[in-house]
Amino acid sequence: MKDVFLILHFIGLAMGLGTSFANLFLGISLSKLPREEAVRISMHTIVLAKMGQIGLALLILSGVFLLIPEWDKLSHCALFLTKMALVVILTFLIMRISGHIQDAKMGEPGVHLAKIPVLGKLAFITSILIVIMAVLVFH
């Protein structure tokens, strides 16, 4: 069963980190377009956020099941606790991004979508730090 959860964990990682990379490169491309066109295209690409949410959910759920047998040992590891704190921060950032996306769908997409790139960059950096911490903890 551990293998199934590990596979789900890596699929979640691919989905979540893939979303961050996609949004990073989309943001670079969209920054070169006129504002109105960039907003119009952004409204069609926000579906990627759902992929990131599903990836994060897979990561968290599979991670919980992977940790149950290891909790006694890992709960005293500073790097692991740092990784968990970063997961909480990432979850908060994803929730904020999702809120701005919902607001953009309701009206004034330009205003709400403009708030996402900074949060997206923070989420990207946080995701990379989580991967680094995971490698250091489970090495």
pLDDT tens column, 97-133 = 999 999 988 988 888 888 888 998 999 999 999 999 9
3-class secondary-structure state, position 34: coil
Over range 65-90, report the average pLDDT.
Answer: 90
78-106 and 48-67 are packed helices; what angle lies between their axes, rounded to 10 degrees? 150
Q: What is the pLDDT of residue 71?
A: 86
Would you state the pLDDT for residue 79?
92
Q: What is the pLDDT of residue 42?
A: 87
Mean local confidence (pLDDT), 84-104: 93
Q: How confident is the model at residue 75 (pLDDT cuts 50, 70, 90)?
A: confident
pLDDT for residue 123: 92
What are φ and ψ of residue 46, in 5° steps?
A: -70, -10
Burial class (CB in 10 A: 0-12, 13-18, 19+), 54: middle
Instruction: Give the mean model confidence (pLDDT) for residues 1-8.
Output: 92
